Amino acid sequence: MLRVGICDDEPLIIEALQRTILEIADTNGWEISISCFESGRALLEAVDTLEAVFLDIDMPELDGIETGKRIGEMNQECKIIMATSRADKFKDAFRIQAFRFVTKPFDENEIEEALQAIFHTQIGMEMIELYEKRNSYQIPQKDILYITAYDGYSEFVVSGRDVNRILRKDCSLSELEQELSKELFFRVSRQYIVNLGKITEYAKGSIHIQGKKILISRRRKKEFEQAYLEYDLRYRG
């Protein structure tokens, strides 16, 4: 569930943008919750609950630029999509490192592209606790290349700056299927779960991830192809 805010001093614009976002979400199968605010001050009171915000630049009292600066101080993870009908204001918006810019009147394709980009940054950011010997580490799921099942534990190959790391967790692949992101990971056989975003080649019933060849079981092949296609369309665009 992506938690999105809309901040604009004009209620009709809020209503129109909210309707557009919900229609886009329904078309793409995205889960989005929307909170609406008519002032920057009202937004700042709830910004710690948001993951993204469509922020109007031209607002009375606290404008979008100043509001955006404060968002950056209060919730650095919140993605800011600046909205304005004035091209001269975009230069000001660069100073707050806005994630995206959209123009008024709103273009549905621009809104969809912004949302898709946000979802792309969100996928796989959830942490998972893994172990190396007796030490535990919190690892972003997106860094996992693939997982291999062994008797009583699972082994994780995790991408690193220079070399990959081998970590483990005392659980089965069935348990991991419940914990891992369903958009990012797929169980291709009894022994392997793979990160769809790390696949470099798929041909003749097998995939390659950084030189590792992994076979896909025949009964999972069709389901895998569907999952891989959906990932490719949704997150690689």
Residue 86: predicted pLDDT: 66
- End-to-end alpha-carbon separation of the chain, Å? 20
Residue 91: predicted pLDDT: 62
Strand partners, 157: 146, 166
Q: Where are the beta strands (DSSP E) in the chain?
A: 2-7, 32-37, 52-56, 79-84, 100-103, 127-132, 135-140, 144-150, 153-158, 165-169, 185-187, 192-195, 201-203, 206-209, 212-215
Residue 95: predicted pLDDT: 67
Q: What is the pLDDT along the chain (237 residues), one digit of tens a residue?
A: 889 999 999 999 999 999 999 999 999 888 899 999 999 999 999 999 999 999 999 888 899 989 999 998 999 889 999 987 766 666 666 667 788 888 888 999 999 999 988 887 878 888 999 999 889 999 989 899 999 999 999 999 999 777 899 999 999 999 999 999 998 999 999 999 999 999 999 988 999 999 899 999 999 999 999 999 888 877 765
Residue 216: predicted pLDDT: 97
List domains and CATH numbers for the chain: 2-122 (3.40.50.2300), 127-236 (2.40.50.1020)
Residue 5: predicted pLDDT: 97
Residue 41: predicted pLDDT: 96
Strand partners, 135: 132
SS3 readout for 185-222: EEECCCCEEEEHHHCCEEECCEEEECCEEEECCHHHHH
